[in-house]
Structure 1
Amino acid sequence: MSILARASAIILAGFCLLGSAEAATRVVVFEFELFDTSGEASPRGPKPEEARRLALITADMRARLAQAGYEVVDTTPKQAEITEAQPLRNCNSCELEIARALGAQIEVIGLVQKVSNLILNINFQMRDTATGRVLRAGSVDIRNNTDEAWQRGISYLVRNRLLDPPLTGKAAP
């Protein structure tokens, strides 16, 4: 067999494998929200540095899920509905319909509760969008309202609560 024929056979086999592979599980990670019970809460929402940290840990969770093999769904097409429904923790699972409309099989919502400027906790919940069943949930307390503390908290949650032990069934990547 010539080199060209071998190369063509290898390429054709690769396309066959790609065509038969199952698509990655589609997951939507909604923006983490802040629930400030510290007495420092502003009616205008989170302080600028806390809003930036919320975006930071949301992006981190999305990146870690993508790295784990999930297809992370863009929320931009439904941003107006998401904004209207916020805070998601109070919308009686309305975000499930948004996640379904985005084509996600799994959704993740997150919350940072600020007890004080020193004590915070980061929480998440992962649900099956078809049934609403909770697949995973986790919480971690952090000390210090800094980028480093928030990043360490989300890292711990993803490694030790979200992805370990590995998800199975249709929730697997």
Structure 2
Amino acid sequence: MRPIVRFGILSAVALILEASAKPPVPIAVFDVLLINTSPAATTAEERDRARRLGDQLRDALSRSGRYRVVDTTAVQATLDQGPDPLHCNGCELPLARQAGARQAAVMWVQKVSNLILNINLAIEDARTGARVRSGSVDIRGNTDESWTRGLRFLLDDQIMVDPKGGRH
């Protein structure tokens, strides 16, 4: 085998081993917020869909191997009393740290109409508040399938993509 080919193979193996050796980042994933700016009232089905979307996000982050989703039960009482993590001027950061996380994930879905919705995700450093990752997708249709596909696209094409190219 030529030395240059051998070097290339060894370099690729080293990069794979380095990436797999990193421990998963502890992340607090807060419940999905549903912002309804449409003329129609929020339905129980939409609230349930938002809850399931949060579960899907937690599952996808855990399965990625990049994150370890921490339990936020200990901070839930505080969350229930105050403004939501999207509108609380950084209150999600100390709550994430209190839950044992190094990063905080805040997701919200804005319903413009029954046809037009968008799914947004911000992942922040729990110590500094710096945005680590963020993304937004517009979806068409207010169905379980459209929400699930929207989340999958958001994660695959914006969140789990390395800024230098490739996937995390």
TM-score clears 0.5: yes
Aligned residue for 2:144?
147
Unaligned runs of 5+ in 1: 1-20, 168-172
Cα offsets for 1:22-62 (capped at 9, x unmatched): 64210111111011000223xxxx42101111111111111
The Cα of 1:76 is off from its aligned counterpart by 1.1
What displacement does 1:85 show? Answer: 2.6
Structure 1 counterpart of 2:123:
126
Which residues of 2 match residues 1-173 of structure 1 at below 5 A?
Answer: 23-41=23-41, 46-69=42-65, 70-165=67-162
What is the one-letter code of the residue matched to 1:113?
Q
4+ residue runs over 3 A deviation: none
Range that drifts further, 48-57 or 83-92: 83-92
Instruction: Give the 3-state SS of the residue equivalent to 2:27 in structure 1.
Output: strand
Taking only aligned residues, the RMSD between alpha carbons, in angstroms, comes to: 1.7
How far residue 151 of structure 1 moved from its aligned partner, in angstroms, is 0.3
Secondary structure at the aligned position of 1:81 is classed as helix
1:88-126 Cα distance to aligned partner (Å, 9 max, x none):
221111111100101100110011000001100000100
Q: Could you state the TM-score of these two structures normalised by the residue count of structure 1?
A: 0.78
Residue 16 of structure 1: aligned partner: none
Q: For the residues of structure 1 that align with 2:128 and 2:113, how far apart are their CA atoms?
A: 36
Distance 1:165 1:62 in 2: 20
- Unpaired runs of 5+ residues, structure 2, are 1-20
What displacement does 1:86 show?
Answer: 3.3
Partner letter of residue 152 of structure 1? R
Query: What letter is aligned with 1:64?
Result: A
Alignment CA distance shift 1:60-1:166 (3 Å): farther
Deviates most, 115-124 or 82-91: 82-91
For the pair shown, the structure with the greater C-alpha radius of gyration is: 1
Once residues 23 and 107 of structure 2 are traced to their aligned partners in structure 1, the CA distance between those partners, rounded to angstroms, is 25
TM-score by length of 2: 0.80
